[in-house]
Every structure is written in C-alpha cells, then in structure tokens.
Amino acid sequence: MTDERCPRVLLLGFTIGDDLFRHIVAHDVVMPTQTHTFAWALVRSIRAAGGPVRLLSAAPASTFPRNRQIRFRSGRFEQDNVQGELLGFVNLLGLKHLTRFVAVVRAGSRTLRQHGDDVLLIHGVHSPFLWFGALVAWRRSVRVVPVLTDPPGVVLPEDGRIVRALRRLDHTLVRLALRQCSGVVVLTTALAEDFAPSLPRLVMEGICDPPPAEASTAHPTRPLVSARPRVAPDEAPAVCRDVVYAGGLTRAYGVDRLVEAFRGMDDPDLRLFLFGRGELEEWSRTQAEADPRIAAPELLDRAALMPRLARASVLVNPRPVDQSFVRYSFPSKLIEYLSTGVPVVTTRLPGIPPDYDPYLCFAESDTAKGLRDVLLRVLAMAPEERAALGGAGAAFVRRTRGPEAQGERLRSFLADLMTAPPGGGGGSVEKRGLPQHPRGRR
C-alpha cells in the first residue's frame, strides 16, 4: 500500500505500557481501564489496516490527591513492536495542564519533524493536546484528527467553585481548538453534532479486541479465581446460573438497581457477580452479606475478567438512561460482553446504534423492575436459544467491530482527509451547558 492509502499516524494521548498501567491502577482512585483498552485497540486497528503508528503519551493519572504521585517522568517505551514516548508532567491542579502542554509542544514538534507523519490522531478531549493539535493545524503540516470519547469539561459532584470555573474554561478551549482540526472520530453522533458540527466525522463507537487467552493473569492485588457466593453446601443447587456485571460500581451506572432487581428474584440457583470498584463497593459487600447468592465485589484485570464473563448465563449493562451524559456515551462493555458469546441485557441507551438491536435484550425501563423482567425473560430461555443468541452477537461484533473492520474504516477516513483541503471547517462555537457526570477524569 502507498502512503496515501496508509497515512503515517502519530497517536497522541494516553497509550502507555501495561507495566505503567498496572502501577496507576494500584495507586489511583479511578480505573482508566477503558481508556487503556480503547487506546491499544485503536493502535491494533491502525496496524491491521497496514498503517504505521507511533505513540506520544501521558500517564492517565488522576490529579493529586486522587493520585498521590506528583511528578511523572518522561521516557521511552515499546510494546507489541510499537515505539512510544512518555511525556513528563507535574500532577497538580493547573500545573498538570501547563506542564503537559509544554511537554507535548517540545516532544511533539520534534517527533513530527523527524518522522514526517501525515496524521496527528489525538485520543480524548484533553485541552493541552488539542491546542498542540491546533498549533500543528495552523502550520498546515499534517492533518489533525481528534478521537472524541467524552464531551469536554465534564463536571464532577465533588468539584468546588474554582474547579468548576476551570472546567468551563477548559470546555471553551477545547471547542475553539476543535475548530482548527481536519475531522473527528467520535463514539456517538451527538459528540460530533454538539462539539464539532462543521467537521467531517467518522462514528466508531468501539473496537472488538478481546485479549488473547494466554495473556490471562490476575490483577496484581486481587485473586484470579472469583469468590463464590456464601451458600451452604446442602442448599447449593447442582447447576447455578450466573448474572454478571463488570464496570464501575456506582449509582450512575445503575449498580444499585441491578442488585435490587436481583434480590427480587427468588430462584435459589441464581448467583450475582459484580466485578469492579467504585462508590458502591462497600454497599455491595453489605448486600452480599444479606443475600448469600451475591458474591462480594472483586477487581480483576481484563485478561482475567474476559474468561469469567464467558462463563456467565447473562451479562448486564444497567446504566440509567435519564442522565445528560448518556447521549454522548456508548458503553464499551457492550462490545466486550457480546464478544464472549453470552446473552446481553441492557437499558436502551440513545448511543447504541440500531444494528446492535437484534443481538441485545433491552429492558423496557431502566428501573429495578424493568431489569428484573428482562433478566427473568432471558434466564427462562432454553440453553440452546441462549447459545444461539450469544453466538450471533459474538459473530456480529467480531465481524463488524473487529480491528480489521474498524481499522479499514479509519484508514479510509484518514486517506479521504489527506485529499481534502487542510484545516478545520470553521463554524461558530455554540454555548451549551457542561455535562454532569460523577466519574473521575484523566
């Protein structure tokens, strides 16, 4: 393939080596698991389409004191035969953005000059990186394409007045920087319509990239084998049916509704497993003590988690649909769930593309009753019916959302941008309220 068909890509974002990622997970209050998973799936998709890619990355650490490490050093790394450079920064409010911007201007300018990349692909809505992209775009040297996985300036419940003001400023800076870009890759159409309406877009909600089976290892601080619920041997049925959730243990993700739905089902052969951590972790432990069919929550790394998901009877995404944030999001767990070949229950989120509908079991409402009704319906299916539904879902996401398919879509999109006039599409910066969301941010 020619360079025009396979643009040379510098991926700027948070794609780091697995060793550093495990260090961050062990010391941070936020798990950047989906950031790490998507970043490497993006790399593998670019390579699957025949494109060369190099990495320029910052550690996805929460700002001090949520992560106690203050100084992150620069350096180089290599993983899966991909070369990367780490940006150093000071992990304090205000200084974090400033030092990351200085670091990326120095390192990014040097590496673009040395390697002659065609596309600067920017993962995320991090304003220091986007404003470096804007500087590059003004020079008309490469095409600048952000990958928008979240809206900018998301407000957290614990944010004080100063932090909220900084988030509003960050929101404005991001929108201004996006105007200089050549195009955007977005998880949902709403992200492009609200934050980059004038730019060419590629909607790519996720990538099906399950870890190889031989890579399965336990999280360094948690056991590989998941704990079983506390059911007395003489009460335990011969065959159990496992209801499994993996993700943040928060009310924003509907975990409390899922537990309530499960406790309303009386079948003694049912078991509930919650994999993750978050604000409801201790509450979930009390629920496990009250109902012996519920296992205490655990945290497993992705390679250990995927085989556990594949042994479930049904996998659940209980996220409520009435939050302002959901129109911008596509839960990446849906692709991972479907890839296991297990039936998937989910609320009807607006960011789910319609071609997923035949392979998902939707709750009529996002209440505990709605979840309980659809769970009972799926669990009542004959084993061969559940196997057929799960198998069809796995084939669908592997065929249409695998690295080869998504990589080819991305390659074609970037190649088209290479033939278009450089620079952004202009347009006005529409004023919108900042989305509210309880999750931590990078």
Q: What is the pLDDT along the chain (442 residues), one digit of tens a residue?
A: 444 568 999 999 999 999 999 999 899 988 888 899 999 999 999 999 999 999 999 999 999 999 999 999 999 999 999 999 999 999 999 899 999 999 999 999 999 999 999 999 999 989 999 999 999 998 777 999 999 998 876 655 556 677 677 777 877 888 888 999 999 999 999 999 999 999 999 999 999 998 875 444 333 333 334 455 655 545 555 579 999 999 999 999 999 999 999 999 999 999 999 999 889 999 999 999 999 999 999 999 888 999 999 999 999 999 999 887 888 889 889 999 999 999 999 999 999 999 999 999 999 999 999 999 999 999 999 999 999 999 999 999 999 999 999 999 999 999 999 987 665 554 433 334 444 444 433 3
**What DSSP assignment string belongs to 182-239?**
S-EEESSHHHHHHH-TTS-EEE------PPPGGG----TTS-SSPPPP---TTT--SS
> What is the 8-class DSSP label of residue 136?
H
Looking at residue 168, its pLDDT comes to: 77
Partners of residue 140 on adjacent β-strands: none
CB-based contacts of 431, cutoff 8 Å, min separation 6: none
Helix (H, G, I), strand (E, B) or coil at 298: strand
Model confidence over 189-244: pLDDT tens digits? 999 999 999 999 999 999 999 887 544 433 333 333 445 565 554 555 557 999 99
| Cα gap 6→414, rounded to integer Å | 8
Entry field: residues in the chain: 442
| Cα gap 57→40, rounded to integer Å | 12
The tokens describing 87, both together, are: 């940006």
**What DSSP assignment string belongs to 395-420?**
HHHHHHSSHHHHHHHHHHHHHHHHHS
Question: What Å distances lie between residue 108 and 100, 198, 422, 431, CA to CA?
Answer: 11, 26, 19, 31
Model confidence over 134-162: pLDDT tens digits? 999 987 779 999 999 988 766 555 566 77
Closest to 343 measured CA to CA, from 243, 206, 212, 213: 243
**b vs e for 231-244, b when ≥16 Cβ sit within 10 Å of the residue's Cβ?**
beeeebeeebebbb
Partners of residue 143 on adjacent β-strands: 119
Looking at residue 290, its pLDDT comes to: 96
CB-based contacts of 407, cutoff 8 Å, min separation 6: 44, 45, 46, 47, 48, 49, 51
| Cα gap 319→255, rounded to integer Å | 8
| Cα gap 51→65, rounded to integer Å | 39
Burial (CB count <10 Å: 0-12, 13-18, 19+), residue 214? exposed
Looking at residue 68, its pLDDT comes to: 95
Looking at residue 301, its pLDDT comes to: 87
Is the CB of residue 124 less than 8 Å from the CB of residue 132? no
Burial (CB count <10 Å: 0-12, 13-18, 19+), residue 383? exposed
User: Residue 226's Cα: distance from chain center in Å?
Assistant: 23
| Cα gap 117→97, rounded to integer Å | 25
What are the helix and strand counts (H, E) for the chain?
Answer: 13, 15
| Cα gap 116→111, rounded to integer Å | 8
Question: What Å distances lie between residue 303 and 164, 225, 432, 441, CA to CA?
Answer: 37, 12, 39, 24
Is the CB of residue 340 less than 8 Å from the CB of residue 309? yes
Looking at residue 216, its pLDDT comes to: 41
The tokens describing 210, both together, are: 């399950």
| Mean pLDDT score across all residues of the chain | 87
Burial (CB count <10 Å: 0-12, 13-18, 19+), residue 32? buried
Looking at residue 158, its pLDDT comes to: 59
